[in-house]
Amino acid sequence: MTQVVMKHGPESKMDNTSEKRERSFDTEWSNAMMNRDTTLSAGLLILRVAIGGFMLVHGYQKLVGFSGLATKFPDPLGIGSQMSLVATIGAEVGCSLLLILGLGTRLAALPLAFTMIIALFVIHGADPWQRKELAAIFLSVYAAIVLTGPGRFSLDHSLWGKKSSPARSGKTKA
């Protein structure tokens, strides 16, 4: 048999205050997590647009200079200079645009990361650090984007409602 105890007097006020504090904490925690998610998503948006824009410039330069580069572009994969150039332009232009939009973000970052791995370790492998530093920076950012995803301010989130991560949304699996 369940016993119900009714509290009257100062003890009931203390319980009521405690409940209010708990509700207030829950609300504050929820707001903090929402603000944290907004801040992280804004940071990821800035990162995606900036790094995507920087790489887009590199790809555009290759696209404009295609005829001059087609025969002398490095062929680290053994597919021919022209095909290597086409693949590089595809990654640097196409995937950068997807990254900026936040569409297929994690998948778009993979060819970009692969391109930077080739640039860093194969094309500039014997070069001094100053020559390969930019590829290392790009690679680091692409790896971070693959791990974090695009954030809320992306087409991925708008179209498919993808959650960035449980840590960012403040929710965990039970």
Inside any domain, residue 12: no
What's this model's pTM, rounded to 2 decimal places?
Answer: 0.73
Tens of pLDDT, residues 15-45:
566 666 566 656 665 665 668 888 999 999 9
Domain that holds residue 143: 46-169
Say how many domains are in the chain: 1
Phi/psi for 133 (5° steps) reads -60, -45
Per-residue pLDDT tens over the stretch 78-114 = 999 999 999 999 999 999 999 999 999 999 999 999 9
Residue 67 has pLDDT above 50, yes or no: yes
Please list, in sequence order, all residues whose beta carbon lies within 8 angstroms of the beta carbon of residue 151, skipping any fewer than 6 positions away. Answer: 40, 41, 42, 43, 44, 45, 48, 102, 157, 164, 168
What is the total residue count of the chain?
Answer: 174
Average pLDDT, the chain: 85
Residue-wise pLDDT for 133-147, tens only, equals 999 999 999 999 999
23 found inside a domain? no
Establish if 52 belongs to a structural domain.
yes
Please report whether residue 147 resides in a domain.
yes
Q: Is residue 3 part of a domain?
A: no
Is 59 domain-assigned? yes
Closest CA to 113 of 99, 125, 131, 100: 99
